[in-house]
Amino acid sequence: MTPPWLPVAGRATRSVSCLIACNGHGLAQAPCLGTLLTDRVDGDKVHDDLVIVWRERPRFGPSLAFNASVIRAM
């Protein structure tokens, strides 16, 4: 959950975009924002609703438990 109860979409890496924290409204928000995220990945114009929750850079540092080396080892 996020403090303002808003979902967060953004770029996790250069080749990975993500949409997280749809909180209690996920049934309504996730399909809508997922479609908008798909349009952005396909190169279409970014919709205003996606701009509101978009973060170009991750706000948190990389996870020590789930980094590329650990995931490959698993």
Write out pLDDT tens, residues 33-68: 999 999 998 988 889 998 988 888 766 666 677 667
- What pLDDT does residue 48 have? 92
Buried b (16+ CB within 10 A) or exposed e, 18-56: ebeebeeeeeebeeebeebbeebeeeeeebeebeebbee
Tell me, letter by letter, the H, E, C secondary structure of 2-52: CCCCCCEEEEEECCEEEEECCHHHHHHHHHHHHHHHHHHHCCCCCCHHHHH
